[in-house]
Amino acid sequence: MTEKRHISEQGKPSALGEKTAAGAAMAAAAVAVRAAETEPTYRLIFERSPVGMFRTTADGKFLDCNDACWRLFGYASREELLSRPTTDHYFDLADREKLLAQIRRDRALKNLEVRLRRKDGSPVWVLENVLLVEDRPGMPEVFEGTMVDITEMKLTEEKLQIEKAYMEQLFDNSPEAIATLGRDFRIRRVNREFNRIFGYTTQEAVGRNIDDMIVPIDRLIEGRRLSEAMAAGETVNVETIRCRKDGTFVDVSILGTTVKSSGGEPVGIYAIYREISERKHAERLQSALYRIADQANSAVDLSDLYRNIHSILKELMYAKNCYVALYDPLTDMVSFPYFVDEKDPPFPPHKFGKGLTEYVLRTGEPLLATPETLDELIRRGQFQRLGTPSLDWMGVPLKSGDTTFGALVVQSYRENVRYGEYEKEILVFVSQQIARAIEARRNQDAIRESENKFRAMAETAVTAISIHDQERFLYLNPAAAQITGYTPEEMLRMNPMDIVHPDYREIAERRRLARLRGEEVPARYEFQIRTRFGEARWLDFSARQIQFEGRAAMVATAVDITERKRSELLQSALYRIAERTSAAGDLQEFYAYIHQVVSELMYAKNFYISIYDEASKMLSFPYFMDEEDVRPQRKLLGKGLTEYVLRTGKPLLATPDVFEAMVRSGEVESIGAPSLDWLGVPLIIGDRTIGVLVVQTYKDNIRYGEPEKDILTFVSRHVATAIEHKRNQEELRLSEARYRSLVQSAVYGIFSASLGGKFLAANPAFASMLGHNSQADLMQLDLYHHVFLDPRFGERLLQEYQQSKQWTGLEVEMKRRDGAHIAVRLSGRIVTDNEGRDRYIECIAENITERRALESQLRQAQKMEAVGRLAGGVAHDFNNLLTVIKGYTEIVREDLGANYGHREELEEALKASDRAATLTRQLLAFSRQQVMAPRILNLNTVVNNMQNLVARLLGEDIHLEFKLDPKLGNVKADPSQFEQVIMNLAVNARHAMPNGGNLSLETVNIDLEEEWAREHMGAHAGRYVMMAMTDNGTGMDEKTKARLFEPFFTTKEQGKGTGLGLSTVYGIVKQSEGYITVYSELKVGTTFKVYLPRVDATAEAARQVTGTLTAGRGHETILLVEDEEGVRRLVRDIIRRQGYQVLEAASGEEALKVVERHGAGIQLLLTDLVLSQMSGRELSERLRAQRKDLKVLYMSGYTDDAVLHAGMLTRGAGFIQKPFTAAQLSMRMRELLDDVPESKH
C-alpha cells in the first residue's frame, strides 16, 4: 500500500478547504471513537457518523469500525471488515511499516492523504487522522482513527492539472514545426508539430544542437552548410531528409531565416519544417512498382523475393515489422514464410483460427486494426490475440484471381508511428504487385520442388527402386545398390536375374517375362537374392510395366525384409522356447532343445551352456556339445572367456585378434581347444548373471559378426528366463518330493482334516501312532468321534483357534485302534483360501505318552532328592547331638566304675545311642552323603560271601536260588555297603512272603541302549553289571511303587519297621553311580534290578590292618576346630583325658590365629569338615601348605564333598564319622600320629 503526505507542485502540503473541513469533522469524530465504548449516546454518534471511524491494533487486527468505514472499503457488513486484517487494504506493506513508525514517533497522524485498497482491489484516496491510544508493555499497541474518502477530490485535481498543461501548450500548436535556435545552433524552443515530426519532447530538444539532433549522419555536411547560411542572414528553402528520434527518416521542406536584434545583429535562427512525406511517398511508390516486378523475375527463390520486397516496402512506409502469411486450404494451416518483428519471434504454422491474419484471409479485405478496431473485433468474437499486442496492425490480402492465398502485414508498436488510410492504400497497391510476383515464383518453385522432391525421394529412399528391361538395369537408386552390395556402375552392366537367389531364379524369371508380355501376374511377392558377398537376403518385391526412353521396361521397388524375416524366426523360436519351458521334461532335454532352436538361427554346431552357483561359487557346464573339446568339470571361477562374460555381464565376440589382445592384457587365459571365433552372451535374470550361452567355430569359412552377437543376445534374454523358470520348476518338483518324503518319513504324526472332522490326508507316523496299518484306514474315520477320547474336544479346538489363530502345544487324549489311550500334543492351524475363508485343519501330532511317564519319574526323582537333602541335614545335626550324648555317657560310665548301681541304665542309654546312630547312617545312605570306601570288586564274590547269612535271614520256608554269571564283569563299589543292599532287599522279600515262597538272586552283564536310558529317568546308556532279586510274594500296587524309596515309608504295622530299608538301598546305589528299577504285580511278585557301571580294572583284594595298635594315650599338641560348642567341649575332654595338649578354635579363621601363636608345636589338626565360614578342607589345605608334616583328622556327621570321595584321605589325613566313641577317636588319632595305615570306620 502506498502511504505518503500529499505534496503540491510548490513543495508544500495541499490544504484545500474541503480537506480542512474534513479534518475538523474527523477530529471530532475521533473523540467519539473512544467514547462509543462507554456512552450509548456516543455509540450512536459513532455508528451514524458519515466519517469512517475505526480502532485497530499494531499487528493488523480491526477491533471496531462504524458503517461509514466498512462501506468506504466496499464490504457488505461490519463483521466482514472486522474479519479481515488491515494488511489487506495496503498495496505495499512497506508503506504500512513507515506509517506505523511515524505514529510511534509522533503518537499521532494528522490530515494525511493515504492511498488504500478496497475489497475489489480498486484504489481509494482517504484523508486520515490516527492516534496511538494504548501502548502498555507486553500488550499490543492500539490505534484509533478516522478517514474520509477524497478520491473524487483527487481526480478533480488531476483534471485541473491536465487542463492547465493543455492551455500552456496552445502556443505551439502551429500546423508547421517551428524551432528557435541560438547563435550556437542550440535549440531554445520547439512547438508541438516539431515534437510530432521528430519524436523529441521539448525537454529533450531544448539545449541541444539542431544538427546533432535531427540531421542524418550522411547529411551532416549539408546540415552544417544550411545552418551557416542561415547564420549568415540568408533565407534557406530546401527539401531534404531529416532523422527522427527513433532513427526513422522523414521528408521535410525547410524554411529558415535569421533573427536579428534591433541593432541588426543576428541573435538566433527561426526554422520552419514542413513534412512532405506523402508527395515523396507517391514518387517512391511508382519507382517501387518497377523494382518489385524486376525482383519477381530476378529473385533466386521466394525467401529472397520476400526479403527484397520488404526492403522496397520500407522505402514507402514504416515497415520495420513485416511478415507474409500463406494459407493452405488442403491442410487448413497458416504458415509464415517471411517474418521480421522487433517483439515476436516468427510464428510457427498453425491451424486457421481467429487472429487478425485469419480475418484478412477469411474476408479477403484489407484491415487497419487500431486499438479501437481491435476492441470491436474482440467484442464481436471475431478476433483472438496472437503475439505481442501492437499499436497499429495493418494487413492486406494476397490474391490470385478471386482466391485469397495469403496476407501482407505491417505493424507498429510505437506511439509516434501510426497507420492510416493512406498507408493502407499504399500497402494494397503494393500487395497486388507482390501477389502476382509471389504467385509466379511459387509456380516456378513448385515445379522445381516437385522435380527435386521426386529425385530426392528416389535417391534417398531406403526402398530399392530400379528400372530394367529384359537384358539389363536401366536405372537404380543408391538403396538398390546398397542392398545388393554392388556399385551402381556394376549393376548397370548386369542382368536383373544375376542377383536372384538360385532357389527363386526360375519363378522370378517366369513372372518377369509374363509381366513384360502384359500377362496377369502377382504385383507383389517375396523372394531371396544373393548379394555380392554371397549373403542371402529377403526382398519384398513389387513391379509394373512402363515406357522408359521410348521402350517397354519394368519399374520395380523392393524392400529389404531380411531383419523382419529374422525377427519372425526369432519370435517363432521364442514361442517354441516358452512352450517347451512349460512342457514336462528335465533340464537336460530342455538344454538340448535350446541348442536345436539356436542352430536354426545361426551356425551352432559347437554350443554349450554354463551355470554359476552363487552359494558354492562354482561354475558348471550342464550342457556341452563341441567337435573339438570335451566337457569341462565343475570348477571355481578362473580367467577363461566364460568367466569374463560372467564377470562383466556383457556379450563378447572373441575373434583371434580380440582374444590375443585379452590374453596379453591378462584379462583372460587360454583354456581348452582354441577356436576361430568365440561368441558368448550372459544369461541375466534381473541384476544377476546366472550363466553364459556360448557358440564357437573352428572353420575359416564360418565366422561370427555383430548380427550373430545381436541374435544370440536377444535369444539369451528369453533363454535365461526360461532356464530360471525350468530350474525353479525342477527345484519345486524336488522340493515337493523332499517335502513329501519328509512328511512320509517324519517321526511326528502329520495330518489334515476337514472342519467337520473328516480326515483328508495323514502320514505313516500318524497312522502308526493310532495303531493303524496304513493311512487309508484313517480316511474312513472321523477325527472328533473316532480319535478324540472326548468328542467335544473338536468344538473346543475350533473355538481356541478363533482366539489365538493357531494351536501350539495343545494336549489331547486320543484312542488307538486297540482301545489304548495316548496323550498327544497338537500344533497346527486352519488353512484358508484366497478369500480368507477357512477350508481345512492342518496339524502336527506328537505322542507324549512316554514323556508324561518320564515327567512323572522326574518329579519322583526331584522329590526323592529333596527328601534326601532334608534327611541328610537332619542326620548331620542328630549326629552332633548323639556324639555329645554318647560321649559323655561313656565318660560317666568309666568314671563311676563297674560297681556303680545304675551302670545297667547307662548301658541301655549307650545301646539307644547306637540304635540312633544306625538310624542316622541309614538316612545318610539314602541321602547319598555317607562316606564310602569303594574298590574294584566282583559282585559274585559279595553274593557268595552273603549266601549263608541270607539263607539264615530268610528261614527254611523260603527257597533261595542263585544264578551267577561266571563271566561277570567288575564294578567299583563299597563291599560293605553293597552287602547292606543285599540284606535290605532280602528282608523286604521275606516280609512280602509271610507264608514262604521262592527268592532268586541273579547277576549278569548287560549293555543299556540309549532308547532304554531315555525311558528311565536318571539312567545312562553303557556297559553295566546287573543284579536282580525276584520274589513271588504279595507284590505291590502302583501307589505303593510310587513311594517305595521314600524314607520312613512302610507298609508294615506301626512299630514293625523304620521305613528306611529301601531308601538306604536307593541311596547306596545312587551314590555308587548306579540305577535301580522295580517291577511288581499284586499277587505275582516283585523284581528289584540294580545296575552298576562295569569297569575293566582287576578286582582289588581286601586290605588288612597289620601291626598292633598302641594305646590311645599320648602327649602331643592337638588343634581342635569345631563350631558346635557341645561337641567341641566333649572332644576336648576326651583328648585331655588321654594326655594330649588341646588348643581350641570355633572357626577356621580363629584356628589360623592359634597356629600363628603356637607355630610348629601342633602335631595334629582335628577339624569338623563342615564349618560355617571356612570349611575344614580349606583350613587343612592352608595349614598343610605351610606344614607338610601336619596330620589332619576330619570329623563329620555327613559329607557330600566330592574331593573326599575322590581320595582326599591321603597319607597323613583321616576321617571319623559322627557319632563316635572316645575309644574310636583316641585310636584314630593315635593311628595318624603313629603313621599307622588308616582303616575306615
pLDDT in tens, 293-333: 777 677 777 788 888 888 888 877 889 999 999 999 999 99
Strands 266-275 and 249-260: antiparallel
- CATH number listed for the domain at residues 1117-1233: 3.40.50.2300
**pLDDT of 1239 above 60:** no
Question: CATH second-level architecture of 2-162?
Answer: 2-Layer Sandwich (3.30)
- 126 touches 150 (CB < 8 A): yes
Residue 586 corresponds to which cell in the numbers above?
528335465
Q: Considering the chain, what percentage of its residues have pLDDT values greater than 90? A: 16
**pLDDT of 1059 above 60:** no
CB neighbours (10 Å) of residue 149? 20
Residue 497 DSSP label: G
- Mention every residue, 6+ apart, whose C-beta is less than 8 A from residue 455: none
Query: Which H or E run includes 339?
Result: strand 333-340
Predicted confidence at residue 85, as pLDDT, reads 93
What's the 3-state SS for 759-816?
EEEECHHHHHHCCCCCHHHHCCCEHHHHHECCCCHHHHHHHHHHHHCCEEEEEEEEEC
Place of cell 562374460: 645
Q: Which part of the chain has CATH 3.40.50.2300?
A: 1117-1233
Residue 853 corresponds to which cell in the numbers above?
511317564
pLDDT band at 145 (very low <50, low <70, confident <90, very high): very high
Nearest to 975 by CA among 1100, 1137, 1085, 812: 1100
| Model confidence pLDDT, tens digit, residues 695-735 | 999 988 788 988 888 888 888 887 787 777 777 777 777 77
CB neighbours (10 Å) of residue 990? 20
Cα gap 841→807, rounded to integer Å:
10
14 φ, ψ (degrees, to nearest 5): -70, 145
- Mention every residue, 6+ apart, whose C-beta is less than 8 A from residue 1067: 868, 924, 925, 926, 927, 928, 930
Question: CATH second-level architecture of 582-736?
Answer: 2-Layer Sandwich (3.30)
* Of the ranges 44-48, 134-138, 356-360, 1198-1202, the best mean pLDDT one: 356-360
| Model confidence pLDDT, tens digit, residues 884-905 | 777 777 777 777 776 776 677 7
Higher pLDDT residue, 739 or 332? 332
Cα gap 122→671, rounded to integer Å:
90
Coil, helix or strand at residue 991: helix
Supply the pTM of this predicted model. 0.32
- 36 touches 52 (CB < 8 A): no
Predicted confidence at residue 607, as pLDDT, reads 94
- 430 touches 322 (CB < 8 A): no
**pLDDT of 563 above 90:** no
What is the CATH class of 461-560? alpha beta
- Mention every residue, 6+ apart, whose C-beta is less than 8 A from residue 551: 469
Strands 688-697 and 606-613: antiparallel
**pLDDT of 578 above 80:** no
Predicted confidence at residue 927, as pLDDT, reads 47
| Model confidence pLDDT, tens digit, residues 585-638 | 677 888 888 898 888 888 889 999 999 988 888 999 999 999 988 899 999 988
- 90 touches 116 (CB < 8 A): yes
Predicted confidence at residue 827, as pLDDT, reads 85
Cα gap 785→793, rounded to integer Å:
9
Looking at every residue in the chain, the average pLDDT score rounds to: 81
Q: Considering the chain, what percentage of its residues have pLDDT values greater than 70? A: 85
- 464 touches 479 (CB < 8 A): yes
- Mention every residue, 6+ apart, whose C-beta is less than 8 A from residue 174: 191, 192, 193
Strands 524-530 and 536-548: antiparallel
pLDDT band at 434 (very low <50, low <70, confident <90, very high): confident
- Mention every residue, 6+ apart, whose C-beta is less than 8 A from residue 1206: none
**Residue 1 Cα distances to 5, 104, 107, angstroms:** 13, 19, 21
- Topology of the domain comprising 932-1102: Heat Shock Protein 90 (3.30.565)
Predicted confidence at residue 1237, as pLDDT, reads 46
pLDDT band at 778 (very low <50, low <70, confident <90, very high): confident
- 229 touches 217 (CB < 8 A): no
Predicted confidence at residue 58, as pLDDT, reads 86
- What is the mean predicted confidence (pLDDT) over 1051-1066? 60
Instruction: Give the neighbor-by-neighbor strand order of the sheet with 249-260.
Output: 187-190, 177-182, 266-275, 249-260, 236-243
**pLDDT of 121 above 70:** yes
| Model confidence pLDDT, tens digit, residues 1105-1140 | 433 334 468 888 898 888 888 788 888 888 888 889
- 825 touches 851 (CB < 8 A): no
Instruction: Determine which of 79-83, 794-798, 1019-1023 has the lowest per-residue pLDDT on average.
Output: 794-798
What is the CATH class of 283-402+431-455? alpha beta
Residue 964 corresponds to which cell in the numbers above?
551267577
| Model confidence pLDDT, tens digit, residues 1146-1193 | 888 888 888 888 877 888 899 988 887 788 888 888 888 888 888 899
Looking at the DSSP bridge assignments, the partners of residue 810 are 826
DSSP letter for each residue of 153-164: HHHHHHHHHHHH
- 74 touches 80 (CB < 8 A): no
Q: Which part of the chain has CATH 3.30.450.20?
A: 2-162, 172-275, 461-560, 746-847
CATH superfamily of 172-275: PAS domain (3.30.450.20)
Higher pLDDT residue, 193 or 438? 193
CB neighbours (10 Å) of residue 55? 22
What's the 3-state SS for 610-673?
EEEECCCCEEEEEEEECCCCCCCCCEECCCCHHHHHHHHCCCEEECHHHHHHHHHHCCCCCCCC
- 353 touches 384 (CB < 8 A): yes
- 208 touches 186 (CB < 8 A): yes
Instruction: Give the neighbor-by-neighbor strand order of the sheet with 1117-1121.
Output: 1141-1145, 1117-1121, 1164-1168, 1191-1196, 1213-1217
- 207 touches 201 (CB < 8 A): no
**Residue 779 Cα distances to 40, 752, 839, 844, angstroms:** 100, 10, 17, 17
Instruction: Determine which of 103-117, 167-181, 342-356, 690-704 has the lowest per-residue pLDDT on average.
Output: 167-181
- 1031 touches 998 (CB < 8 A): yes
Predicted confidence at residue 584, as pLDDT, reads 52
| Model confidence pLDDT, tens digit, residues 36-46 | 555 677 788 88
Higher pLDDT residue, 847 or 287? 847
Higher pLDDT residue, 911 or 641? 641
Predicted confidence at residue 118, as pLDDT, reads 94
Higher pLDDT residue, 1209 or 1009? 1009
Tell me how many helices (H) and strands (E) the chain has.
38, 45
521 φ, ψ (degrees, to nearest 5): -135, 160
Cα gap 537→558, rounded to integer Å:
12
Predicted confidence at residue 932, as pLDDT, reads 55
Q: Which part of the chain has CATH 3.30.450.40?
A: 283-402+431-455, 582-736
Cα gap 611→685, rounded to integer Å:
12
**pLDDT of 665 above 80:** yes
CATH superfamily of 746-847: PAS domain (3.30.450.20)
